């Protein structure tokens, strides 16, 4: 690669000759790791003309650098960073001015320090990754995704790929969701009632911003998805965490002052409980009583392999009070960052304006790729394949869990991709996780899902979405061993 002449600027405050300034610029570039071995420097003519100085000054500087073995000359083809040039220790920068800003004062709002735990980036290198929410490369339909992406990259789709949509979405993706995805959940929606988001996370965030203020109250499930609690904490609304039972959220426990209820009826996160139809009706009734809204995170409904999925809460909603959150990130792959919000037009309009302000719109190319992947039927085929694999893994895992006498704390009626587990009293699953980490086993401690101060420490989550079926028995045995 050639080093661009534009990386060179003269510093009017430089103490020294022009020649030494040029030498130093180049040497600093090499030392700081910006210029690398084998990269070609601008010609002396080019650099001199760019800086507006005489060519001989540049030639002298280059000659000096040659002598110091920073540079290497290959006759007529020019100057290169020498193969013997020093290599910086892992890209440490040159001396810079000291940071003189008092950041503790300058930062108006803090967003660090939430409940969402740090997760290992290198999870794929673990032998027993009982990790939740990542993609299993053996299940993903890589070839067809690639074909769809190629199609979306074609000349015909140029506009979809490159245009600034302002606040709009890809109409083809929206149409597919309206015509095919939502009807499977029993939901009828017009395009104006749908907003594409950057994953379910973004959908939940948008809903919270539009609906909540410091004077409003949100009811959440306890335990619940930690990132949701971070979102709500940042919105500074009042929070009512409501303990869930084996059927999920208990409608009668919702406090009368509640404005918005956040719930995961398909698969309660993390306990995997599926809310029975009776309770769904009771929940809607309770919301009507309180004139509250419901944000339904229709979490993992695609992973219903033990039983047919129930229609979404939103499909039973005749008042327009349910806001529905769907996602393709879980079922296609999480790096896709594609989800959607469904709700009344008045709500979607505000969420769309907010999204436009925050990020305009999800990238056009990924929207179009997803539209092809969905409409060509690859999505359904992928879901079927994932369900089949998860069904098998779940059976193997259930056997292993039974065999070792481990305790399941929750169990989704319709499948899912994880078990919610309970360790014997007195066991801190964060320590357990650290211990298992050394043995190549990744588990997820449960404390972070709970609310408040006295969070129980004995729960943990074991997902089987990314672990090969044949490693499950061994992995569970290692967990059982560590628990003893």
Per CB under 8 A, contacts with a copy of itself among 70-129 are 91-94, 96-103, 106-114, 116, 118-119, 121, 124
Q: E strands, 215-297, where?
A: 217-222, 238-243, 260-263, 293-297
* 406 binds a copy of itself per the rule CB under 8 A: no
Shortest Cβ 407–a copy of itself spacing (Å):
28
Q: Are the C-beta atoms of 472 and 402 separated by less than 8 Å?
A: no
Shortest Cβ 158–a copy of itself spacing (Å):
6
Which of 144, 151, 168, 411 is close enough to bind a copy of itself by CB under 8 A? Answer: 168
Q: Which stretch binds a copy of itself (CB under 8 A): 59-67, 206-214, 264-272, 469-477?
A: 206-214
DSSP string, 55-71: HHHHHHHHHHHHHTTSE
* 32 binds a copy of itself per the rule CB under 8 A: yes
* 240 binds a copy of itself per the rule CB under 8 A: no
User: In whole angstroms, what is the distance from residue 393 CA to residue 391 CA?
Assistant: 6
* 14 binds a copy of itself per the rule CB under 8 A: no
Which of 202, 272, 418, 451 is close enough to bind a copy of itself by CB under 8 A? Answer: 202
DSSP string, 390-455: HHHHHHHHHHHHHHTTPEEEE--TTB-SEEEEEPPTT--HHHHHHHHHTTTEE-EESGGGS-SSS-
Shortest Cβ 400–a copy of itself spacing (Å):
26
**Residues numbered 251-310 forming contacts with a copy of itself, rule: CB under 8 A:** 259, 288, 291, 293, 308-309
**Residues numbered 340-359 forming contacts with a copy of itself, rule: CB under 8 A:** 344, 346-347, 349-351, 353-354, 356-359
Task: Compute φ and ψ for 124, nearest 5 degrees.
Answer: -70, -15
Which of 188, 381, 395, 434 is close enough to bind a copy of itself by CB under 8 A? Answer: 188
Determine whether 421 is exposed, middle or buried from the number of CB atoms within 10 Å of its CB (0-12, 13-18, 19+).
Answer: buried
User: In whole angstroms, what is the distance from residue 337 CA to residue 362 CA?
Assistant: 9
User: In whole angstroms, what is the distance from residue 70 CA to residue 319 CA?
Assistant: 73
* 395 binds a copy of itself per the rule CB under 8 A: no
* 144 binds a copy of itself per the rule CB under 8 A: no
* 4 binds a copy of itself per the rule CB under 8 A: yes
* 46 binds a copy of itself per the rule CB under 8 A: no
* 471 binds a copy of itself per the rule CB under 8 A: no
Q: Which stretch binds a copy of itself (CB under 8 A): 55-63, 78-86, 225-233, 419-427?
A: 225-233
Q: Decide whether 321 or 394 has the Cβ nearer to a copy of itself.
A: 321
Q: Decide whether 332 or 441 has the Cβ nearer to a copy of itself.
A: 332
* 405 binds a copy of itself per the rule CB under 8 A: no
User: Which residues lie closer than 8 Å to 420 by C-beta, 6 or more apart?
Assistant: 270, 271, 272, 408, 409, 410, 411, 446, 459, 461
Number of residues binding to a copy of itself, judged by CB under 8 A? 128
Which of 1, 15, 67, 454 is close enough to bind a copy of itself by CB under 8 A? Answer: 1
User: In whole angstroms, what is the distance from residue 343 CA to residue 468 CA?
Assistant: 38
Q: Decide whether 7 or 403 has the Cβ nearer to a copy of itself.
A: 7
Shortest Cβ 321–a copy of itself spacing (Å):
5
Which of 57, 274, 315, 417 is close enough to bind a copy of itself by CB under 8 A? Answer: 315
**Residues numbered 356-385 forming contacts with a copy of itself, rule: CB under 8 A:** 356-366, 375, 377, 380
Q: Which residues pair with 445 in a beta bridge?
A: 460
Shortest Cβ 218–a copy of itself spacing (Å):
10
* 160 binds a copy of itself per the rule CB under 8 A: yes
* 20 binds a copy of itself per the rule CB under 8 A: no
Q: Which stretch binds a copy of itself (CB under 8 A): 146-154, 245-253, 408-416, 474-482?
A: 146-154
Helix count and strand count (H, E) for the chain: 15, 15
Q: Are the C-beta atoms of 314 and 324 separated by less than 8 Å?
A: yes
Burial pattern 90-126, b for ≥16 Cβ within 10 A else e, equals eeeeeeeeeeeeeeeeeeeeeeeeebeeeeeeeeeeb
Q: Which stretch binds a copy of itself (CB under 8 A): 33-41, 388-396, 402-410, 414-422?
A: 33-41
Element (H, E) at 357: helix 345-359
Which of 156, 179, 236, 437 is close enough to bind a copy of itself by CB under 8 A? Answer: 179
User: In whole angstroms, what is the distance from residue 58 CA to residue 66 CA?
Assistant: 12
Shortest Cβ 269–a copy of itself spacing (Å):
15
> Could you identify the residue written with the tokens 């009507």?
288
User: In whole angstroms, what is the distance from residue 456 CA to residue 429 CA?
Assistant: 10
Shortest Cβ 449–a copy of itself spacing (Å):
16
User: In whole angstroms, what is the distance from residue 108 CA to residue 284 CA?
Assistant: 39
């Amino acid at each position: 690669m050639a080093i661009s002449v534009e990386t060179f600027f003269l510093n009017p405050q430089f103490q020294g000759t022009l020649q030494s300034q040029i030498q130093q610029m180049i040497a600093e570039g090499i030392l700081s790791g910006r210029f690398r071995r084998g990269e070609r420097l601008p010609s002396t003519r080019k650099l001199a003309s760019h800086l507006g100085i005489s060519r001989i000054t540049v030639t002298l500087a280059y000659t000096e650098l040659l002598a110091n073995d920073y540079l290497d000359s290959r006759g007529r083809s020019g100057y290169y960073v020498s193969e013997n040039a020093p290599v910086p220790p892992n890209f440490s920068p040159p001396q810079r001015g000291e940071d003189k800003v008092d950041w503790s004062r300058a930062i108006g709002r803090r967003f660090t320090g939430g409940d969402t735990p740090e997760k290992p980036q290198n999870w794929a290198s673990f032998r027993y990754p009982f990790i939740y929410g990542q993609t299993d490369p053996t299940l993903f339909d890589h070839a067809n995704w690639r074909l769809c992406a190629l199609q979306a990259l074609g000349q015909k789709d140029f506009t979809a790929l490159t245009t600034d949509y302002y606040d709009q979405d890809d109409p083809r993706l929206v149409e597919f969701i309206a015509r095919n995805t939502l009807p499977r959940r029993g939901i009828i929606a017009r395009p104006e009632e749908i907003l594409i988001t950057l994953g379910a996370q973004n959908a939940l965030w948008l809903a919270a911003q539009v609906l909540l203020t410091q004077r409003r109250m949100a009811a959440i499930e306890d335990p619940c998805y930690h990132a949701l609690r971070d979102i709500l904490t940042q919105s500074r609304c009042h929070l009512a965490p409501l303990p869930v039972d084996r059927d999920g959220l208990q409608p009668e426990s919702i406090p009368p002052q509640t404005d918005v209820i956040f719930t995961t009826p398909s698969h309660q996160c993390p306990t995997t409980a599926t809310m029975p139809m009776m309770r769904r009706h009771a929940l809607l009734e309770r919301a009507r009583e309180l004139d509250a809204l419901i944000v339904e995170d229709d979490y993992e409904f695609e992973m219903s392999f033990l039983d047919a999925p129930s229609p979404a809460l939103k499909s039973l909603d005749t008042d327009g009070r349910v806001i529905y959150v769907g996602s393709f990130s879980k079922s296609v792959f999480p790096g896709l960052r594609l989800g959607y919000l469904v709700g009344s037009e008045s709500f979607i309009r505000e969420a769309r304006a907010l999204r436009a302000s925050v990020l305009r719109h999800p990238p056009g190319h990924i929207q179009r790729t997803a539209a092809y992947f969905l409409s060509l039927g690859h999505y359904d085929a992928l879901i079927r394949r994932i369900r089949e694999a998860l069904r098998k893994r779940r059976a193997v895992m259930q056997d292993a869990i039974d065999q070792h006498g481990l305790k399941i704390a929750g169990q989704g009626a319709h499948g899912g991709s994880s078990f919610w587990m309970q360790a014997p009293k007195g066991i801190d699953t964060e320590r357990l996780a650290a211990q298992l980490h050394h043995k190549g086993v990744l588990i997820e401690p449960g404390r972070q899902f709970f609310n408040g101060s006295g969070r129980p420490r004995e729960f943990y989550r074991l997902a089987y979405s990314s672990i090969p079926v044949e490693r499950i028995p061994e992995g569970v045995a290692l967990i059982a061993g560590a628990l003893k």
